[in-house]
Amino acid sequence: MKLRSKIVLLMTLGLLGVGFVVRYRMVNRNYHRQTVKEVIVKQGELVKDKTVHFKILSAETKLTATEAFASVRISVNQIGPGNYGFKHDYPYYDENMWFNIPYGYYSVAKGAEKPHGGLLNMAEMERPGTRMIVMNFRTPIDNYRGRNGTSRFSFLVPQDSNQFIKYSYLLNFES
């Protein structure tokens, strides 16, 4: 009886192993490595991506005793379907913009602001045409001091098949 129990146990484990491999392959068959290519852009340079055209108009930076502040003015024209926030047909590009502190922390804004104040609402972002927006970022000074590279404003733009281009504008903080 012991030999029979061992054979049944081995067969059960073998079937579970085969089932695991089959299920693993089914779940991961459409997975592709997400790769990100970083492109450094300059102020005033018009970036023409497949789905969005934008230009960094200006950037202001400031360090205080308690925080690092960056305010970036951008001209944005969403010309194709947006897939921001890792969601299909999601046009809210401000979710893919952040104050990037390499090898440290990052900071997101409360949303895209209009040049003369007030948040840009979702309906305004969905309308075709060029928008002037301001992205304001704040982070505690210790987050900024922990950096291991030049701080930047980054805009992650989705491409085809889980590919991304991270457009970055280097920020100049003078103490």
Interval 14-37: pLDDT, tens: 888 887 777 877 777 766 566 788
pLDDT given for residue 34 in this prediction = 62
pLDDT given for residue 20 in this prediction = 79
pLDDT given for residue 154 in this prediction = 95
Query: Is the pLDDT reported for residue 175 higher than 60?
Result: no
Banded model confidence at residue 53, pLDDT cuts 50, 70, 90: very high
| Three-state secondary-structure class, residue 86 | helix
Percent of the chain whose predicted confidence (pLDDT) is above 90? 37
Of the CA atoms within 13 Å of residue 100, those in its CB half-sphere come to: 18
Q: At 58, which helix (H) or strand (E)?
A: strand 52-63
In the numeric block, the tokens 């997101």 are attached to 108
What b/e string do you get for 41-62 counting C-beta neighbours within 10 Å, with b at 16 or more?
A: beeeeebebebbbbbbeebebe
